[in-house]
Structure 1
């Protein structure tokens, strides 16, 4: 009887918690919004490229308060669903914060007793922008940067039983110098709603005294080796790292090292290369030993692939994958959601855009002035999508930036702004280094906050020589890096050409259709050109594709179509903003896209 009573009590509590939350506002929703379980929000392991078996998800309902800068909460305004930004519908709040206020979070948690002899790490996938964190009123750390994961060792702050986390967030959106992508305080046109606070999974992880902090995985197909650098929090000369490479259930290679050296692994002669058509991944098991004692173990994965450029027999510099010419073609992907803003409602939703990109015959995505959660890049690795990764733009207003673009002058940033840019760009590269799908770094877009282009590009190339660098997509052009990137709307056009670098069309298209059943707002909608039916949009898309084919023969080595989905009042997506309608004829678009992707192999 007691067991039945306990079960019923638990069910009632769960139903009560669920009843306290609902999406805020009446804006457009995706189908996944109704599938959210308040007690199990984004339950998937958040870092599949470096996985341990034990972890605890802290997503769910937290207390929140919005207060003037400098004030601390004596009580809270209500509950917010983490990890959805406070301005989003799925947060259950949908309120603005602004640069003169701070957003506070608070929740309780308990540490499983079986973790007692471990260090406890508190992880945040991403918090926009500056986060201060306390555990049991003990300050455990601060992180500045809205797009990268961070963690704190909170072991010394923990108590037996119930513990309390507090997080304070300050985010000036477009009133500050920090990277913030498309966020503005007055959304219109190509600029969107602000995103403030926690917007990726928060989680706890037990680790041993000596543990692996990071993995840096570097394939080399030219000498058929895989380099695995396991970076630990503590190092002694007795530490030994061993790496096992598996293909399914079969062990195909092993390697080991001491003295802080990366493990260099000779891969088998019949190694399987990663390509969009065959995105083969090898599983990795990485173990750190002290003598015969295992200190830590993580599971990971890797791919054998190479990004490079080479002049073809007509003298055109082409992008190459695995030493073969490949025309890289994909959509401009903003990564926004009508209900979650920066955060997809579910992991299925997060993966959906990638699946549809593949369904439409593309082999690449340009991730536009945003960085995604780790699982998004793993989905790209698994599905075979090459990623061009933008640095989110920032430093003052879009109006100034566009003026700067047309005058052709580089931005002169403050010392604080420049230092922050460099710090956040380095953190993004470090975060994404081991993902096989990431093939191109893009430090600047259309002169938005562009500064010291040659220096930033050369630093990026030096810091990660395994990838290509696109210095400024459609921006102020300098003869540096691997790529000259042109933008032209609506149709493809080549108005510049670089005989020494790959010439690409970094943005074109923007074919609009305001489907009245799937709009963020009933009016104010726009695209670079507007049509009224799927057939009209598809006809125009195919017309541009045929034009692009001719320009590929003349010298283009990649192209980016604007864009994956509608976003707020932009209606030039291949899909509607709610993802409920594919706006083009999939079969026709897939056919012509595949012809484009394969054009250099004919």
Structure 2
């Protein structure tokens, strides 16, 4: 049977009632597994009317099994009289992984369905092996078919998923067909209004992955919460022998070995001491990673994991028990030099390399889960991370399907990156309006992520407000702040709220005794446009805004870091101003050519000073 692998977990909501949700068990650390890359040229059919998915009565072809009609069948006309109104083999090609928008001018603004098709052959190395087709991400909905049979559907544009195809391959070429649809939806996560480009397509790696009959479906290996001299291990095996296969976890660099016995559900958990004085903690100054091996029967998983603790105490953020100031920057998953979706390790090294050059020890990966390389490269470079899901602006707070979608995306992100030492903050939302339905929705997400991973901090990007009688006082009293570990908010004084000189007059009223983090500030500047500091969109205006914002933030006693908006210019259809924006958000410290704007050097010098304190 072909199945989308699921793991079920029980969560207690804020109301105290128990419920359950499902998350896709994407194969962990896929880059260390036996795999066949399906990256490269795929045949595509652009299908704005969804002709290949619905019949003329608007009924999906794949509601029946076997499928009756539609492009998923990948039919070929065998005689001159056959009526087949599509042909993958003579259609155009697009590269995978890539977005379709930047590969074909006709698709630049396209939102809708594109069908991807590729043939492949694969012979397992063992007759007992299990095979999966794995997708790093597909934006936004992916309907997947193999040899004319439906494998399943994945919703959400930024998290990995896989389908089992054991026993479904033919000896000859196999046809893999994927309908990808990036239509923005009011009920979606994100909703139909965002401030970034809606890149469509198979935007990350695609593999056929070979696993043993019983394999490691999840693994979580990190320092135990509150007991930092012990390593907490949680493993779940999947397969017929899951409950009878012992697990061994080895860390040669620590002379550490732990043996675990799974229960009936294939899960094995335990805490094990580390030899005194052996462990070197991961930190930005010393990003130590250990080789870790998980062995379970024929299954072997290799990882590189760093060990550190993160917590809060009053107004402080503590890394390995010591206060830390988060010298950060926000980043979109876009390579500005080519203007398309970033996806590769090289892209990750470019973006995070810029962050290091800026003096950052922290980065906010906005506004959705970035590709897996970002967290792995951050582990190596010693850059702490904020990761978030696209619960952005306003979505359908009272729609149970929207909530289930958000919960699933959050669970998939945590499942993928829970072993990355660099990830210290999970964020559940950005700039959402305060109301009861929204706070219940986000409260459920906070409860979810704490149940999934109690070792990291939880936050969300909130917003300040002011009262008429005190126009220069900004108040932070969002009820969501009672649930988060740090008080994070976006503020644009001097850009959307007055001019830069207004920063000198602002006072803050923050009604929580928690660390304060500024998740966004900044303003736009066109790279190379120079004028007086009061001329909007000039580099000098942006420079002046940074010069005045940083002292303003220093007047917040509990201020413990920031991620100014943003590292580099990025595309956004919301930004049409001719000659200035031309479809780009210009708040980057780096322009679309890669040149550094004047504000870059203001922030770099400030971070250099903070690092020396």
Displacement of 1:104 after TM fit? 0.9
**Matched residue, 1:103:** 114
Identify if the C-alpha distance between structure 1 residues 237 and 418 changes in structure 2 by more than 3 Å, giving closer, same or farther.
Answer: closer
**Matched residue, 1:405:** none
Alignment of 1:16-415 (within 5 A): 49=29, 51-52=31-32, 54-67=34-47, 68-69=49-50, 70-71=53-54, 72-73=70-71, 74-76=86-88, 77-87=91-101, 89-90=102-103, 94-98=107-111, 101-112=112-123, 114=125, 117-173=128-184, 175-180=185-190, 191-220=195-224, 222-234=227-239, 235-247=241-253, 252-259=255-262, 260-270=267-277, 271-289=279-297, 295-311=298-314, 317-338=315-336, 343-344=341-342, 346-393=344-391, 401=394, 412-415=397-400
**Matched residue, 1:564:** 567
Identify if the C-alpha distance between structure 1 residues 472 and 582 changes in structure 2 by more than 3 Å, giving closer, same or farther.
Answer: closer
**Matched residue, 2:75:** none
Is the partner of 2:32 in helix, strand or coil?
coil
Displacement of 1:95 after TM fit? 4.7
* Among 411, 426, 441, the residue aligned to 1:426: 411
Identify if the C-alpha distance between structure 1 residues 92 and 411 changes in structure 2 by more than 3 Å, giving closer, same or farther.
Answer: closer
Is the partner of 2:585 in helix, strand or coil?
coil
Distance of 2:29 and 2:251 partners within structure 1: 14
**Matched residue, 1:436:** 421
* Among 465, 470, 475, the residue aligned to 2:454: 465
Distance of 2:368 and 2:343 partners within structure 1: 17
Is the partner of 2:570 in helix, strand or coil?
coil
Displacement of 1:124 after TM fit? 0.2
Alignment check: 8 A CA contact 2:326 2:361 kept = yes
Identify if the C-alpha distance between structure 1 residues 381 and 530 changes in structure 2 by more than 3 Å, giving closer, same or farther.
Answer: farther
Displacement of 1:471 after TM fit? 3.8
Distance of 2:295 and 2:284 partners within structure 1: 30
Identify if the C-alpha distance between structure 1 residues 309 and 481 changes in structure 2 by more than 3 Å, giving closer, same or farther.
Answer: same
Identify if the C-alpha distance between structure 1 residues 114 and 471 changes in structure 2 by more than 3 Å, giving closer, same or farther.
Answer: closer
1:513 and 2:513 aligned: no
Alignment check: 8 A CA contact 1:127 1:145 kept = yes
- Let me know the Cα RMSD of the aligned residues: 3.0
Displacement of 1:587 after TM fit? 6.3
Is the partner of 1:504 in helix, strand or coil?
strand
Displacement of 1:447 after TM fit? 0.8
Aligned positions, number: 505
Is the partner of 1:168 in helix, strand or coil?
strand
Is the partner of 2:443 in helix, strand or coil?
helix
Distance of 1:52 and 1:300 partners within structure 2: 8
Displacement of 1:595 after TM fit? 2.4
Distance of 1:53 and 1:486 partners within structure 2: 40
Identify if the C-alpha distance between structure 1 residues 496 and 342 changes in structure 2 by more than 3 Å, giving closer, same or farther.
Answer: farther
TM-score, length-scaled by structure 1: 0.77
Question: Could you list the runs of 5+ residues in structure 2 that have no partner in the other structure?
Answer: 1-25, 55-69, 72-85, 465-476, 495-502, 572-583
Displacement of 1:346 after TM fit? 4.4
Identify if the C-alpha distance between structure 1 residues 156 and 168 changes in structure 2 by more than 3 Å, giving closer, same or farther.
Answer: same
TM-score, length-scaled by structure 2: 0.75
Displacement of 1:353 after TM fit? 1.0
Displacement of 1:473 after TM fit? 2.9
Between 1:557-566 and 1:466-475, the stretch displaced more is 466-475
After TM superposition, the runs of 4+ consecutive aligned structure 1 residues lying more than 6 A away are: none
Distance of 1:256 and 1:56 partners within structure 2: 31
Displacement of 1:487 after TM fit? 2.3
